[in-house]
Structures are given as C-alpha cells and as structure tokens.
Structure 1
Amino acid sequence: MASTELATERALYIVNTIGYVIYGGILFLYAYSTYRTMASRRPMPRRLFYISFGGLLVILLTVSGPTNAVFCESMWIDPVTDSAANILIDGLTLYRCSIIWGSRLQIILLFFIFFFLFIVR
C-alpha cells in the first residue's frame, strides 16, 4: 500500500511541475499578446475586453496553481476557479458563434443550451 501512495505522490509532484511550466508559457503569451495588442496602430475593436478577459483567466490560473501545489489534489477552491474559467471561455465561445453565424437564433439557441447545461451540471 505504501508504494502505491508513494507513486501517487510522485505523480502529483510531476503533474504540478509540468503545470508550472505551462503556466509560465501562459504568462508569457498573455504578456506578449497584450503588448502586441496595445502596440498595434490599427484600430482594434474590443481591445480592452480581450486584454481584461485574458487577465481574468490568468488570475484564475494563478489562484488554481498554488492551490494544487499546497493541497496536491483538487480541493474546494480548485473546482471553483476551473469552473469560473470554463464559464468565461464558454461565454466567449457563445459570443463568437453569434458573430460567425450572423446572429441566427436557431444556432445560437443550440449553443446556449449547451452552455446552460454546463453551468447547471
């Protein structure tokens, strides 16, 4: 039984370490995309929205990472931050679908039902 617990602890340690490497990449991509967005001379609609949206996702990942490191498993705060991030991403996807499909009510309603079912789950 002890070898199984040791293997589980090592696996959690390795996953957390890989998660921190990915988190570093996410921070770099957010900082670089924010820089490129702000440095662009072309008018970009909703510039502030995309920068704020990305910043909120980075903040949620910042809360989620140390929680996993301290508790080494999903506790009460991790599902909340992951769910909040998923709701934001699904909402943005719903908005993009409405742009792509030209605000066709039948298509948007279908995606909204999926979005709503995820939230209720």
Structure 2
Amino acid sequence: MEGDAGSLRALEGGVRSLGGAGGRISVERRDLFKEPLTAAELNRFQAVVFDPPRAGAQAQAAELARSDVPRVAAISCNPATFARDARTLADGGYRLVWLQPVDQFLWSPHLELAALFTR
C-alpha cells in the first residue's frame, strides 16, 4: 500500500521485474492516513512493514494493535511519533524485540529508527 503515485509506480516496476513474485506481491494505492487497513484486512498477512511520514501512523498502528499479525517492522523518521505508535502496538500486545537508530543523514539532526515488534 502506498499513497504517493511516483513511489507506487516504482514499486510496481520492481514487482514486474520479479515476474510478479508468483502472485505473492500486490501493489495498491491507498492513503493509509485517511483509510488505514482494518484489523480484518491485516489478518491475512504474516508480517507488516510500515514507514510513515513524520506525522507517524497513529490510525494504522491502532488497527495493527487490533489485528492478529504476528510481526510488525516499523521504520520512522520521527522518534516522537514512533514512540506514540510503539506504545499503541505495545498496548495491543506487541513486544518490541529489536530497535536500531540509523544516523543516515550526515550533517543533519534527523534520525531514522527501525524496529521489530512481535506477538
């Protein structure tokens, strides 16, 4: 799921180059801020990766917390919204098992976070 048209085209091109990955990868345009995947929609997945904008993934984290997805990988460029969304996941039964700060922007105070949550 991706809301940005340019990113979606790049993703579709990658999936095509993999031959569709045997139908295991699908691409859909959706604004997850306005229309997050529901817990029922998420339950068909074994894992979810989300990488929201600086505002975080509050609505999507709430749906993930209600879902049965066993693994969630979270990427964030904002430690404050990451903490809020991580709390939502923890309150929903997830456990933070791995967290890695990534200082990928030399000469900038920005910090990326990558984390894994499991049930």
TM-score scaled by structure 1? 0.27
Query: Which has the larger share of strand?
Result: 2
From the CA coordinates, give the structure whose radius of gyration is larger: 1
TM-score (structure 2 length as normaliser):
0.27
Answer 1 or 2: which has greater helix percent. Answer: 1
